[in-house]
Structure 1
Amino acid sequence: MRARTGVRGIVRGIVAAAVALWGLAACSDGGGGDDEPPEIRTIPTVRSSADLPALPMEQYVFSGDDLRAYTQAGAVLSRRCMERFGMNWISDKDATRDLPDLTVDPTRYFTIIDADAAREHGYADPRGDGDGQRKTSGSYEPTDAERSVYNGSAKNVTDTSGRRLGKGGCAAEVDKRLDEGGVKGIDALKVGNEFYTLYGKVQRDSRVTEAFEKWSACLKKKGFTYATPMDAANDPEWVSGADTKAAVSVATADVACKQRLNTVGIWYAVAEAYQRAYIDEKAEHFADVLATKKALVKNAADVIGGAE
């Protein structure tokens, strides 16, 4: 079993959020209820991903830089603790290798948007394999003894000052430091999962389903039959990401119809409305999330910058 390289099993939880949110979502369900749909403010004209305004959720999600700094700080603190017990631990390089980028990627959330990407890659992710799994080749593998000190399962262990290993081991010590100033019970690293519950509601909204029907009719005139953009993106022929000739043909037609009908602009406007309403409804919670995120980012910067 590979040891956790970050705080609270960082990669395990974060990857789940990243894959769920920013993959070409095969599952369009999620959320529920028959509440009155939220009001749309404006519908942007979207011909490329650069035309999309920020989604409300973006300020609450860790950026790639934030996540890298947080993970690096966890590695720094972990080594300090482990060295007190005469042991080694994972390097910054190993800890931060192949971390997912939680920054909102509209080309994944709204399936494919950019014409150039469609022509060059079809539905494949040009950023890489996109599976959210970390590569482990070349990484340091802790010994069983090191793992036991890190997770606190070791018995009768004292550090160089004669202090006994605390409950939860070095992992708990690191978490305590990096969580300082945050709100108890708030896991800012997984907040993206909360917004994923809205994904199904957005797809079922009448304004989106109408936009998809028009997109589907447009695509049919080009010789392809798909009910929704998700169906096209997740065709079993290329769901694994292969940029085949067939995938490129469909993706190119897909984007052309989206551009002509402003499908993504409508889709975005509805998603923005649901996210905004959700945040307003849980205003106190998201204030805590934002405060916790800021605390974690500051703590990480202090550790890396040597402010302690």
Structure 2
Amino acid sequence: MSPSRARATTTLALLLLATTACTAAEHESTPAPHSPPVSRQAGQLRLPLDAYAATVAENRVVEDAQDILMRRCMKDLDMEWKTLPSVDAQDTEPPNLRRYGADESEAVRYGYHPRPDPPSVVRRNRAWDEREALPAEVQRAAYGTSGRGGCLKTARNQLVGDTAPPDYHAFNQLTVTALETSRRTPEVRGALRTWHACMAKAGFDYPEPFAASDSERWETAEPTAAERATARADVACQKSAKLVTVWAAAETRIQRRLIQQNSGRLHEAKARKDRWLAAARRVLNREGG
């Protein structure tokens, strides 16, 4: 993420957890107008803790509302501010894609490489990058000398006043704990053993799906034939072992327990998130977006 993007993005932005793989990482790429959809299982996978953190789409709602307010502020200073282009709804990845390993729809074509960003995501990324090239006086007006001042500070004050930004430390901490705890349950360990045996029969020696997907062999510019073959075997063995179904059930149970144990912290985080989102949607509704 570029420096100006980091300054402009609100603290609603989720921590993209390495242990769960990037579910919404934005990266430089060639547009992929016909990217395959994710598998139905990945698209429908929801976990209890999802309710307590903002989705990528919700983050963009706040960014868009903030951008509108920044444009007004910059106009008062006789400066132009181009708002970010929107992202098509179908171009936003589901929240838990690749949480338990490779996705079936992606593996056939891309192996373990991320699929190229679709056009609407590429357009938004380019707009962020273009802000890096803005004249110094425009950047100072937009962000101040600290990176948190200028029209950015004005926009945030107009958006939520003194409402504190959501604190996602609890969510980030608990979602990692849930994943690692569920990984050690008897049923998940059994499914992983079944997956390993299936992979070994196919000629691949990996202890678990993350070891396969994170192999240094795949650090190439484009997916290789060997990578795609490994990924295809991986997802076939996941289906054979019912790995995602078993793992999601185990983690759901653990997440529910963690929510009960941390209800105060989580509910406060959700309340703050909801206030930010409600304020952002009011701005967008007034703007007609």
Distance 2:74 2:283 in 1: 16
Distance 1:80 1:51 in 2: 37
Select the residue among 45, 58, 63 that pairs with 2:50. Answer: 58
Over residues 209-235 of structure 1, what are the superposed CA-to-partner deviations in whole Å (9 max), with x where a residue is unaligned? Answer: 332122111211111110011111112
Going from structure 1 to structure 2, the CA distance change for 1:3 and 1:229 (only over 3 Å counts) comes to closer
Contact 2:196–2:208, Cα closer than 8 Å, also in 1:
yes
SS in 1 for 2:256: helix
Residue 105 of structure 1: aligned partner: 96
Select the residue among 172, 176, 181 that pairs with 1:193. Answer: 172
1:31-180 aligned at under 5 Å gives the runs: 49=41, 53-93=45-85, 101=92, 103-106=94-97, 108-114=98-104, 116-128=105-117, 134-135=125-126, 139-140=130-131, 141-153=133-145, 168-180=149-161
Residue 209 of structure 2: aligned partner: 229
SS in 2 for 1:220: helix
* Residue 10 in structure 1 maps to residue 12 in structure 2: no
Distance 1:265 1:240 in 2: 31
Q: % of aligned pairs identical?
A: 22
Select the residue among 256, 259, 264 that pairs with 1:276. Answer: 256
Where structure 1 has 5 or more consecutive residues not aligned to the other structure, the ranges are 25-46, 155-166
Which one-letter code corresponds to 2:110 in the other structure?
H
Output the aligned Cα RMSD.
Answer: 3.8
Where structure 2 has 5 or more consecutive residues not aligned to the other structure, the ranges are 24-38
Contact 2:102–2:112, Cα closer than 8 Å, also in 1:
yes
What TM-score do you get using the length of structure 1 for normalisation? 0.70
Distance 1:175 1:292 in 2: 14
Give the total of aligned pairs.
Answer: 265
Distance 2:251 2:221 in 1: 25
Going from structure 1 to structure 2, the CA distance change for 1:86 and 1:128 (only over 3 Å counts) comes to closer
Distance 1:12 1:51 in 2: 26
Which one-letter code corresponds to 1:171 in the other structure?
L
1:199-278 aligned at under 5 Å gives the runs: 199-239=179-219, 242-278=222-258
Distance 1:85 1:109 in 2: 46
Give the greater-gyration-radius structure (CA). 1
Distance 2:270 2:233 in 1: 40
What TM-score do you get using the length of structure 2 for normalisation? 0.74
Q: How far apart are 1:73 and its partner, in Å?
A: 1.0
Distance 1:296 1:2 in 2: 23
Distance 1:248 1:137 in 2: 32
